[in-house]
Amino acid sequence: MRFDVITLFPEMFSAIKDEGVIARGIKKSLLSIHTWQLRDFSDNKHRNIDDKPYGGGAGMVMQVKPIRDCIRKIKQDTPGTMVIYLSPQGEKLTHDLAKELSELDSIALLCGRYEGVDERVIEHDVDKEVSIGDYVISGGELAAMVLIDSVSRQIPGVLGNAQSLNDSFANSLLDYPHYTRPEIIDDQQVPEVLLSGHQANIDAWREDQSLKNTQKKRQDLIKK
Ligand code: 4GS
Protein backbone atom coordinates (compact mmCIF):
# COMPACT_ATOMS: atom_id res chain seq x y z
CA MET A 1 0.00 0.00 0.00
CA ARG A 2 1.20 3.49 -0.88
CA PHE A 3 0.58 6.56 1.31
CA ASP A 4 1.13 10.08 -0.05
CA VAL A 5 1.06 12.76 2.63
CA ILE A 6 0.50 16.46 1.92
CA THR A 7 1.89 18.49 4.80
CA LEU A 8 3.77 21.60 5.94
CA PHE A 9 5.82 19.37 8.28
CA PRO A 10 7.15 16.34 6.36
CA GLU A 11 9.88 15.77 9.00
CA MET A 12 7.22 14.77 11.54
CA PHE A 13 6.67 11.52 9.63
CA SER A 14 10.11 10.21 10.56
CA ALA A 15 8.37 9.30 13.82
CA ILE A 16 6.64 6.39 12.07
CA LYS A 17 8.90 5.85 9.03
CA ASP A 18 12.14 5.21 10.87
CA GLU A 19 11.28 2.56 13.43
CA GLY A 20 8.77 -0.02 14.56
CA VAL A 21 6.09 -1.93 12.71
CA ILE A 22 5.74 0.59 9.85
CA ALA A 23 9.50 0.74 9.23
CA ARG A 24 9.51 -3.05 8.91
CA GLY A 25 6.55 -2.92 6.52
CA ILE A 26 8.47 -0.42 4.39
CA LYS A 27 11.58 -2.63 4.44
CA LYS A 28 9.49 -5.61 3.31
CA SER A 29 8.07 -3.42 0.47
CA LEU A 30 4.54 -3.93 1.79
CA LEU A 31 4.23 -0.18 2.44
CA SER A 32 5.60 3.12 1.23
CA ILE A 33 5.13 6.60 2.66
CA HIS A 34 5.80 9.61 0.42
CA THR A 35 5.63 13.11 1.89
CA TRP A 36 4.93 16.25 -0.12
CA GLN A 37 5.91 19.68 1.16
CA LEU A 38 2.88 21.82 0.36
CA ARG A 39 5.07 24.96 0.24
CA ASP A 40 6.75 23.52 -2.88
CA PHE A 41 3.41 24.18 -4.62
CA SER A 42 3.20 27.83 -3.52
CA ASP A 43 3.11 30.40 -6.33
CA ASN A 44 5.11 33.11 -4.51
CA LYS A 45 8.66 33.64 -3.39
CA HIS A 46 7.66 33.65 0.29
CA ARG A 47 6.30 30.11 -0.14
CA ASN A 48 2.98 31.12 1.44
CA ILE A 49 0.11 28.65 1.13
CA ASP A 50 -2.42 30.36 3.42
CA ASP A 51 -4.36 33.61 3.57
CA LYS A 52 -6.89 35.49 5.72
CA PRO A 53 -10.45 34.13 5.92
CA TYR A 54 -13.18 35.87 3.92
CA GLY A 55 -15.70 37.22 6.40
CA GLY A 56 -12.99 37.94 8.93
CA GLY A 57 -12.11 36.18 12.14
CA ALA A 58 -9.06 34.68 13.71
CA GLY A 59 -6.47 32.47 12.04
CA MET A 60 -5.55 31.64 8.49
CA VAL A 61 -7.00 29.32 5.85
CA MET A 62 -5.05 27.02 3.54
CA GLN A 63 -5.54 28.05 -0.08
CA VAL A 64 -7.02 25.93 -2.86
CA LYS A 65 -4.35 26.28 -5.55
CA PRO A 66 -1.28 24.71 -3.87
CA ILE A 67 -3.35 21.80 -2.52
CA ARG A 68 -5.08 21.24 -5.87
CA ASP A 69 -1.75 21.30 -7.74
CA CYS A 70 -0.18 18.87 -5.26
CA ILE A 71 -3.12 16.45 -5.51
CA ARG A 72 -2.96 16.65 -9.33
CA LYS A 73 0.71 15.64 -9.18
CA ILE A 74 -0.01 12.75 -6.80
CA LYS A 75 -2.83 11.51 -9.05
CA GLN A 76 -0.55 11.67 -12.09
CA ASP A 77 1.88 9.32 -10.34
CA THR A 78 -0.82 7.20 -8.68
CA PRO A 79 -4.10 7.25 -10.61
CA GLY A 80 -7.17 6.29 -8.60
CA THR A 81 -5.70 7.13 -5.21
CA MET A 82 -8.25 7.95 -2.49
CA VAL A 83 -7.82 11.46 -1.11
CA ILE A 84 -8.57 11.68 2.62
CA TYR A 85 -8.72 14.92 4.64
CA LEU A 86 -8.10 14.50 8.37
CA SER A 87 -10.66 16.61 10.21
CA PRO A 88 -12.94 16.52 13.26
CA GLN A 89 -15.86 16.58 10.79
CA GLY A 90 -14.91 13.23 9.27
CA GLU A 91 -16.09 9.68 9.79
CA LYS A 92 -14.69 8.37 13.08
CA LEU A 93 -11.64 6.12 12.63
CA THR A 94 -12.42 2.66 14.03
CA HIS A 95 -10.96 -0.82 13.65
CA ASP A 96 -13.55 -1.52 10.95
CA LEU A 97 -12.69 1.61 8.95
CA ALA A 98 -8.94 0.88 9.27
CA LYS A 99 -9.57 -2.63 7.97
CA GLU A 100 -11.65 -1.30 5.06
CA LEU A 101 -8.99 1.27 4.09
CA SER A 102 -6.25 -1.40 4.27
CA GLU A 103 -7.80 -3.02 1.20
CA LEU A 104 -6.97 0.01 -0.98
CA ASP A 105 -3.78 0.21 -3.09
CA SER A 106 -3.10 3.88 -2.32
CA ILE A 107 -4.27 6.68 -0.06
CA ALA A 108 -3.35 10.37 -0.14
CA LEU A 109 -3.65 12.16 3.21
CA LEU A 110 -4.17 15.91 3.42
CA CYS A 111 -2.97 17.40 6.72
CA GLY A 112 -4.56 20.72 7.70
CA ARG A 113 -2.99 23.40 9.87
CA TYR A 114 -4.39 26.73 11.12
CA GLU A 115 -8.19 26.94 10.72
CA GLY A 116 -8.09 24.24 8.03
CA VAL A 117 -8.46 24.23 4.26
CA ASP A 118 -10.67 26.34 1.97
CA GLU A 119 -14.04 24.54 1.80
CA ARG A 120 -13.76 24.28 -1.99
CA VAL A 121 -10.95 21.74 -1.52
CA ILE A 122 -13.31 19.52 0.47
CA GLU A 123 -16.03 19.90 -2.17
CA HIS A 124 -13.85 19.27 -5.21
CA ASP A 125 -10.62 17.49 -4.29
CA VAL A 126 -11.28 15.33 -1.24
CA ASP A 127 -12.93 11.89 -1.47
CA LYS A 128 -13.41 11.30 2.23
CA GLU A 129 -13.01 13.08 5.58
CA VAL A 130 -11.76 11.02 8.52
CA SER A 131 -11.56 12.03 12.20
CA ILE A 132 -9.42 10.33 14.84
CA GLY A 133 -11.79 11.46 17.60
CA ASP A 134 -13.93 14.22 19.06
CA TYR A 135 -11.21 16.64 20.14
CA VAL A 136 -9.08 19.23 18.37
CA ILE A 137 -5.38 18.77 17.70
CA SER A 138 -3.01 21.38 16.29
CA GLY A 139 -2.51 19.83 12.88
CA GLY A 140 -3.62 16.92 10.75
CA GLU A 141 -0.16 15.29 10.87
CA LEU A 142 -0.68 13.36 14.11
CA ALA A 143 -4.09 12.23 12.85
CA ALA A 144 -2.53 11.08 9.55
CA MET A 145 0.11 9.09 11.46
CA VAL A 146 -2.57 7.42 13.58
CA LEU A 147 -4.43 6.49 10.39
CA ILE A 148 -1.28 5.19 8.66
CA ASP A 149 -0.34 3.10 11.70
CA SER A 150 -3.78 1.59 12.28
CA VAL A 151 -4.32 0.86 8.56
CA SER A 152 -0.82 -0.56 8.02
CA ARG A 153 -1.24 -3.06 10.86
CA GLN A 154 -4.18 -4.57 8.94
CA ILE A 155 -2.09 -5.29 5.84
CA PRO A 156 -1.16 -8.98 5.71
CA GLY A 157 2.54 -9.49 6.53
CA VAL A 158 3.13 -6.12 8.19
CA LEU A 159 2.88 -7.56 11.69
CA GLY A 160 5.53 -10.20 12.30
CA ASN A 161 3.12 -12.76 13.78
CA ALA A 162 -0.60 -13.42 14.03
CA GLN A 163 -0.81 -10.88 16.85
CA SER A 164 -3.40 -8.62 15.24
CA LEU A 165 -5.91 -11.45 15.37
CA ASN A 166 -5.82 -11.27 19.17
CA ASP A 167 -5.62 -7.53 19.67
CA SER A 168 -8.38 -5.42 21.13
CA PHE A 169 -11.28 -4.87 18.67
CA ALA A 170 -10.18 -7.61 16.26
CA ASN A 171 -13.13 -9.66 17.55
CA SER A 172 -15.02 -6.47 18.56
CA LEU A 173 -14.03 -7.06 22.20
CA LEU A 174 -11.23 -5.60 24.31
CA ASP A 175 -8.02 -7.53 24.86
CA TYR A 176 -7.46 -9.99 27.74
CA PRO A 177 -4.85 -9.18 30.44
CA HIS A 178 -1.18 -10.02 29.83
CA TYR A 179 1.51 -11.21 32.27
CA THR A 180 5.21 -11.93 32.09
CA ARG A 181 7.98 -12.93 34.53
CA PRO A 182 8.21 -12.96 37.49
CA GLU A 183 5.32 -15.14 38.74
CA ILE A 184 5.02 -13.08 41.93
CA ILE A 185 5.90 -9.44 42.56
CA ASP A 186 4.95 -7.52 45.71
CA ASP A 187 2.28 -10.18 46.54
CA GLN A 188 0.73 -9.91 43.08
CA GLN A 189 0.42 -13.34 41.46
CA VAL A 190 0.07 -14.34 37.85
CA PRO A 191 -3.31 -16.13 37.47
CA GLU A 192 -2.80 -19.86 38.10
CA VAL A 193 -4.38 -21.01 34.83
CA LEU A 194 -1.66 -19.26 32.79
CA LEU A 195 0.98 -21.42 34.49
CA SER A 196 -0.99 -24.65 34.01
CA GLY A 197 0.23 -25.47 30.51
CA HIS A 198 -3.35 -26.46 29.63
CA GLN A 199 -3.91 -24.46 26.41
CA ALA A 200 -7.66 -25.09 26.09
CA ASN A 201 -8.21 -23.80 29.63
CA ILE A 202 -5.97 -20.80 28.94
CA ASP A 203 -7.88 -19.96 25.75
CA ALA A 204 -11.22 -20.23 27.57
CA TRP A 205 -9.96 -18.03 30.43
CA ARG A 206 -8.71 -15.39 28.00
CA GLU A 207 -12.00 -15.33 26.12
CA ASP A 208 -13.88 -14.93 29.39
CA GLN A 209 -11.52 -12.14 30.53
CA SER A 210 -11.98 -10.34 27.19
CA LEU A 211 -15.72 -10.39 27.66
CA LYS A 212 -15.54 -9.31 31.33
CA ASN A 213 -13.05 -6.55 30.47
CA THR A 214 -15.37 -5.24 27.78
CA GLN A 215 -18.41 -5.42 30.06
CA LYS A 216 -16.58 -3.51 32.77
CA LYS A 217 -14.75 -0.89 30.69
CA ARG A 218 -16.66 -0.55 27.41
CA GLN A 219 -20.33 -1.56 27.75
CA ASP A 220 -21.01 0.35 24.52
CA LEU A 221 -19.01 -2.22 22.50
CA ILE A 222 -21.22 -5.08 23.75
CA LYS A 223 -24.42 -3.34 22.73
CA LYS A 224 -23.04 -3.24 19.18
C1 4GS B 1 -8.45 16.24 13.66
C2 4GS B 1 -9.16 15.23 14.34
C3 4GS B 1 -8.19 17.61 14.11
C4 4GS B 1 -8.54 20.73 13.23
C5 4GS B 1 -6.17 20.27 12.59
C6 4GS B 1 -8.19 22.19 13.39
C7 4GS B 1 -5.88 21.77 12.75
C8 4GS B 1 -7.33 19.86 13.46
N9 4GS B 1 -8.05 15.70 12.52
N10 4GS B 1 -9.16 14.16 13.57
N11 4GS B 1 -7.10 22.56 12.49
N12 4GS B 1 -9.77 15.31 15.53
N13 4GS B 1 -7.66 18.46 13.19
O14 4GS B 1 -8.44 17.96 15.25
O15 4GS B 1 -8.50 14.44 12.47
pLDDT digit string, tens, across residues 78-111: 999 999 999 999 999 999 999 999 999 999 999 9
pLDDT digit string, tens, across residues 162-209: 666 668 898 899 999 999 999 999 999 999 999 999 999 999 999 999
Answer whether 136 contacts ligand 1 (Cβ < 6 A): yes
Q: Which atom of ligand 1 is nearest to the CA of 138?
A: 7
pLDDT score at 168: 86
pLDDT digit string, tens, across residues 107-156: 999 999 999 999 999 999 999 999 999 999 999 999 999 999 999 999 99
Given a cut of 80, whether residue 161 has pLDDT beyond it is no
pLDDT score at 43: 96
Answer whether 87 contacts ligand 1 (Cβ < 6 A): yes
The set of catalytic residues is 88, 115, 153, 167
pLDDT digit string, tens, across residues 18-63: 999 999 999 999 999 999 999 999 999 999 999 999 999 999 999 9
- Please state, in angstroms and rounded to a whole number, the distance separating the CA atoms of residues 102 and 95: 11
Mutate to test the pocket of ligand 1, among 134, 136, 149, 150 (most ligand atoms within 8 A of CB): 136
Answer whether 112 contacts ligand 1 (Cβ < 6 A): yes
One-letter-per-residue 3-state SS of the chain = CEEEEEECCHHHHHHHHCCCHHHHHHHCCCCEEEEEEHHHHCCCCCCCCEECCCCCCCCCEECHHHHHHHHHHHHHHCCCCEEEEEEEEEEECCHHHHHHHCCCCEEEEECCCCCCECHHHHHHCCCEEEECCCCCCCCHHHHHHHHHHHHHCCCCCCCCCCHHHCCCCCCCCCCCCCCCCCCEECCEECCHHHHCCCHHHHHHHHHHHHHHHHHHHCHHHHHC
Predicted confidence band at 160 (pLDDT cuts at 50, 70, 90)? Answer: confident
pLDDT score at 164: 63
Mutate to test the pocket of ligand 1, among 131, 141, 142 (most ligand atoms within 8 A of CB): 131
Cα of 193 from ligand 1 centre, angstroms: 45
pLDDT score at 22: 97
**Confidence (pTM):** 0.96
Nearest CA to ligand 1 atom 5: 139
